[in-house]
Structure 1
Amino acid sequence: MKTTIATLLIAASAAALPATLLAANAAAGKAGWVAEHPQADGSPARSCATCHGTDLTQPGKHAKTGKVIEPMAPSVNPQRLTDEKKIAKWFRRNCKWTLGRECTAEEKADFLAYIKTQ
C-alpha cells in the first residue's frame, strides 16, 4: 500500500496534523538530523546521522550494535515511509535513544520532509 506524507503525519501525530503538515520544513529536518544530543549516561553525543549517516541514499550502521541500516532515502529504498506502524515505532524508539525523549509532531514532520527530499 502506497502511503502519502499526509497519512504518515497522521500516524506520527494525528492531533497536530493540520499545523504540522503546513509547517513541515525540510531544512529544519536536515538541521535536526545532524544536531548532536548529549547523553545522560555519559556516552558520546548522538544525532540521527550517528547511525543513519548524512547521505541518506547510502546504508547506515547502528552505533551500538553495528547492524547495517538500509538507506533512508525513498529514492533508493522504495520501502521507506510506506508502513505507518513501522514509522511510528521507529520514531518512538529512535527519538528516545537519540534525544532522550519522544520527538514532537513538528520534529517528525520536519524529519519526514527532509527524508523525502533525498
Structure 2
Amino acid sequence: MLAFTSAARAGDTTATQQLNFWSAQAGAPGDAGKGRVFFGARHGGEWSCTSCHGTPPTGQGKHATTGKTIPPLAPAFNPKAFTDTARVEKWFRRNCKDVLSRECSAAEKADVLAYLLSLQP
C-alpha cells in the first residue's frame, strides 16, 4: 500500500493510486455515483464542490470568492490533477472544510476520486 506523507514530491502519484489508497483506507472501493452526488451537494452549507470546480469538473473552474481560475479537476482533462500527494492532501483538507465544515472521510475521498476518474472526453 502507498504511504502518503506531506513530504511527497510533485509527480509522486497518480489519480488511480490516490483512489486505491483512499479506497483501502475506507475498506471499500470508491463509488462514482456516490461521488457525483457528493460533488454536487451543498451538505447544509453555502458551497458545493461544483461552486468552484463546475459541473462537470472537466473545464476551467473559478473560485467562488476570489474569482481565481482553477484548472480542470477531472484527471482526463488535466494530466497534473492528483499527481502530487502533498497538494492532494492540502486541497482535500481545505476544500472539505469549506464545503462540509470538517475533513472528508476516506470513503468520501474515494467516492469523489472514482467520480472524477469516470469523467472522460
- TM norm structure 1: 0.81
Q: Which residue of 1 aligns with 2:102?
A: 101
- Supply the AA of the counterpart residue of 1:70: P
Check if 1:25 corresponds to 2:35: no
Which of the residues 40, 43, 63 maps onto 1:37?
43
Q: What does residue range 40-59 of structure 1 map to in structure 2 within 5 Å?
A: 45-59=46-60
Structure 1 vs Structure 2: percent identity of aligned residues? 47
Letter of the 1:112 partner, please give it. Answer: L
CA distance in 2, matches of 1:67, 1:83: 21
RMSD: 2.2
Q: Determine the C-alpha separation between the residues in 2 that align with 1:31 and 1:90.
A: 19
Q: Following TM superposition, where does structure 1 have runs of at least 4 consecutive aligned residues deviating by more than 2 angstroms?
A: 1-7, 9-13
Matched residue SS, 1:36 = coil
Q: Which letter does structure 1 place at the counterpart of 2:81?
A: R
Q: What displacement does 1:111 show?
A: 0.5
Question: Is the 1:11–1:88 contact (alpha carbons within 8 Å) kept by the matching residues of 2?
Answer: no
Unmatched tracts of structure 2, length 5 or more: 1-10
State the one-letter code of the partner of 2:94: R
TM-score, scaled relative to structure 2? 0.79
Which residue is 1:111 aligned to?
A: 112
Aligned letter for 2:43? H
Distance in 2 separating the partners of 1:94 and 1:51: 10
Give the CA deviation at 1:36: 1.1
Q: Is the 2:15–2:81 contact (alpha carbons within 8 Å) kept by the matching residues of 1?
A: no
CA 18–49 in structure 1, closer or farther in 2 if over 3 Å, else same: closer
- Size of the aligned set, in residue pairs, is 109
